[in-house]
Amino acid sequence: VARLAAGWWMDAAHLTAQGRIVADLRVHADADCLWLDLFGHRKRALIEGLEKFLVAADLAITEAALRPPTGLAGPAPPGVPA
């Protein structure tokens, strides 16, 4: 994540010390922040886990507005550019 350039994204996971998945997410990089895209029901667990690492870093976690998931799959219909 530290090497993620602005405008790019990557898949990631937050794990417990035992290697169990707390949340799977997508990390989007902006020039001055990272956006974490994940299912809303995992948000609290992720924030609590990440806050443990903030004691030695000059970082802050803020919550953005929730957005409903949106996605399209499959071939484009006739007349719609792919």
Compute mean pLDDT per 10 residues along the chain, 82 residues long, and list them. Answer: 90 91 91 87 87 75 70 70 62
Instruction: Return the pLDDT at 69.
Output: 61
Say which DSSP state 9 is in: E
- Distance between CA atoms of 23 and 33, rounded to whole angstroms? 20
Instruction: Return the pLDDT at 9.
Output: 92
Distances from the Cα of 60 to the Cα of 18, 26, 75, 78, 82, angstroms: 26, 18, 41, 46, 39
Instruction: Return the pLDDT at 5.
Output: 92
pTM: 0.68
